[in-house]
Amino acid sequence: MRRPRRFLLSMLACSLLLSAGFVTPRVAQAADNKVTLSVNGEVLKFPAAEAPYLEGTMIMVPVRKAGEALGFQTAYIKESSSLQIKLSGIELLMKLGGGQFILNGKDTLTIEGAAVLKNNRIYVPLPLLDEIGYITKPGPGSAQAEVSTPQNYTESVMKLLASGQYEALSDRFFSTEVRNNLSSLKLQQVWEGFTAAYGEYGKVGSLKSSRDNGRYSLSGTAVFAHGKLTVTLTVNSSGQIQGLWFAPYEDPQAAPELALPAGVTEEAVTVGAGTSHPLKGILTLPKASGKPLPSIVLVHGSGISDLNEAAYAYKPFRDIAYGLAEQGIAVLRYDKRGYSYPQEFMGSAAASVTVKEETVEDAIAAAALLKKDKRLDAAQVYLAGHSLGGMLGPRIDADGGNFAGLILLAGSPRSLWEIIYDQNMRVISRLDDAIPAKAEAASSVNAELAKAKALPALTDEQAKAAPAVFGAAAYYFKEMDQHSTAELGRKLTKPVLVMQGSDDFQVYADVDYPLWKDVLKNNSLAEFKLYPGLNHFFVGYEGAGAGTPDEYNVPGMVDEQVIKDMGQWILKQSR
């Protein structure tokens, strides 16, 4: 029997998002009020003269002992009465009695509390460990604290999942809001779906961590017996999980290298300069032609994407930019807002985020940038939207993009939740009936469908407070449906090119492509192109894993004919 692949992984465009807000952790008080400190799950033992202690409500940590346990080096510089800490290429210098320290000899940072010398030993406030890269779980007034390396923290979470200790995971690591919105049963269903597809869990490797405004983002590779997943955790300032993602593993080095074509140049630009969300962009320019050039904005699909829309072993926006520039067309691509400002799409903030903030506003800003460039023809600025970007193309145009024409790549005029439902059910339908979780998975997906269908009856405020739908905020879907792609599409009278791959298993050639023809039937300027053998990214593939996300892990590039057709269509409109 062929092993089932990517079971339940298509939930919300092949990802699972469990997010919530901040909360103070529950930390138990030691029975004898003795201060205790655990490092990576092990309670440290101290001589009486070197034990941690409370300074008011602040836990003071003996820095030498903590350094030995956590792997950083410490030194006392007598001449300046300073503490020096070194780890992973970072050097901190902190004067005793002060709450400021110097980072790498130049940056001054301030923490709560101060380093002190007591009993000939140096103590530092617990928050210092958080500042230098460790996850701490303090409790105001508590006499206990836990400190973990990012690697150990992530491994502890994954071990509890792998051993089926879902309630223990929830109690120990999840914030109150996450616990309230994610039952142990739901967590079990998702995890068993992953193990059904990937086999037994092994370890976490290649972990990366970053810290911003007291919050950590931890991202690593979860290695299973038959494959890998990328796991990402967001951890709040109290050391508890506020967000958890599982997504297909993507090798950032897997996409084939592609040299910039001869005569083509690239410039760094900023989309939304002067706004609260400036985005890094690249303008790809063809050889100078002596007259203003046509140009196009590339709009991403769902999820967090960089300016190349890098996914798995693909960089489709790079391929398109180079190919269109060779045909005399300027191309603007830019990092998606969720890529540059991920904190605004996490926790409680996610409840009110819509595609307007996620995609629409920035695409309009990108169009404005092109229209101001004197080298480009302001009347010949086009949009090419892929997947979700294709769905939103008519809205972006109506809300202020005012493009000369639209190219809709593997988009759909249907509601996003309807497509996600179909994706899940198609995956489930291919599973063997003998798999115990199959019926449970179908029931769970149908329950999400029922919630989606109930959204129109909710007010905006009710939707913002409602439980997630297909792993995303309910209001995200409700707001999107208030700007129906099909209704906006029917109003289009400008040139539109709909492009679809016949082997696309995310947006369907037998469902969505014909729907576009119906939506645009009264638009004489609409054209349609269906490409045999191409997938959702317009890459051709035949081999093992075809028809599943496995094929995306095989390096490939956007089909040359697709890019050629895009260029010829734009040039035809601009004559």
The β-bridge relationship of strands 144-148 and 293-299 is unpaired
Find out whether 28 and 17 touch, Cβ atoms under 8 Å.
no
**pLDDT by residue, tens only, the chain of 575 residues:** 223 333 333 333 333 322 222 222 223 333 345 788 888 888 888 888 788 888 888 888 898 888 888 888 888 888 888 888 887 777 888 888 877 778 777 777 788 888 888 888 888 888 888 888 888 875 444 577 888 888 989 999 999 999 999 999 998 888 887 787 777 887 887 888 788 767 889 999 878 888 776 778 888 889 888 778 888 888 887 888 888 878 777 665 567 788 999 999 999 999 999 999 999 999 999 988 889 999 999 999 988 889 999 888 899 999 999 999 999 999 999 999 988 887 677 666 777 889 999 999 999 999 999 999 999 999 999 999 999 999 999 999 999 999 999 999 999 999 999 999 998 898 888 877 877 778 888 888 999 999 999 999 999 999 999 988 887 889 999 999 999 999 999 999 999 999 999 999 999 999 999 999 999 999 999 999 999 999 999 999 998 889 888 888 889 999 999 999 999 999 999 78
Q: For residues 555 and 455, give the distance between their C-alpha atoms in angstroms, rounded to a whole number.
A: 40
Backbone angles phi, psi at 381, to 5 degrees: -105, 125
> What would the two tokens of residue 65 be?
């002992």
Query: Residue 408 CB: number of other CB atoms within 10 A?
Result: 29
Helix (H) / strand (E) element for 228: namely strand 227-235
CA-to-CA dists, residue 329 to 322, 541, 558, angstroms? 9, 28, 17
Find out whether 115 and 94 touch, Cβ atoms under 8 Å.
yes
Q: For residues 38 and 43, give the distance between their C-alpha atoms in angstroms, rounded to a whole number.
A: 4
Find out whether 452 and 424 touch, Cβ atoms under 8 Å.
no
> What would the two tokens of residue 297 be?
């904005």
pTM, two decimal places = 0.69
Q: For residues 56 and 44, give the distance between their C-alpha atoms in angstroms, rounded to a whole number.
A: 22
Side chain identity, residue 500: Q
pLDDT number for residue 417: 96
Q: For residues 78 and 83, give the distance between their C-alpha atoms in angstroms, rounded to a whole number.
A: 9
Backbone angles phi, psi at 375, to 5 degrees: -80, -10
Helix (H) / strand (E) element for 499: namely strand 496-501
Ordered DSSP codes for 63-111: HHHHHHHHT-EEEEEGGGTEEEEEETTEEEEEETT-SEEEETTTEEEE-
Q: Which residue has the tokens 């140096």?
A: 122
Find out whether 464 and 492 touch, Cβ atoms under 8 Å.
no
Find out whether 221 and 204 touch, Cβ atoms under 8 Å.
yes
Side chain identity, residue 142: S
Q: For residues 141 and 24, give the distance between their C-alpha atoms in angstroms, rounded to a whole number.
A: 12
Three-class secondary structure of residue 396 per DSSP: helix
CA-to-CA dists, residue 306 to 168, 174, 234, 309, angstroms? 36, 29, 19, 5
Find out whether 108 and 117 touch, Cβ atoms under 8 Å.
no
pLDDT number for residue 348: 66
Residues in the chain: 575
Q: For residues 281 and 307, give the distance between their C-alpha atoms in angstroms, rounded to a whole number.
A: 7
Q: Which residues contact 88 (CB under 8 A, 6 or more apart)?
A: 133
- Contacts of residues 209-218 at CB distance under 8 Å and 24 or more positions apart, as own/partner, are 209/133, 209/150, 211/133, 212/343, 213/343, 214/130, 215/242, 215/343, 215/346, 216/135, 216/150, 217/342, 218/150, 218/153, 218/154
Picking from 277, 309, 291, the residue whose alpha carbon sits closest to that of residue 376 is 291
Q: Which residues contact 427 (CB under 8 A, 6 or more apart)?
A: 6, 7, 8, 9, 10
Picking from 174, 229, 178, 185, the residue whose alpha carbon sits closest to that of residue 206 is 229
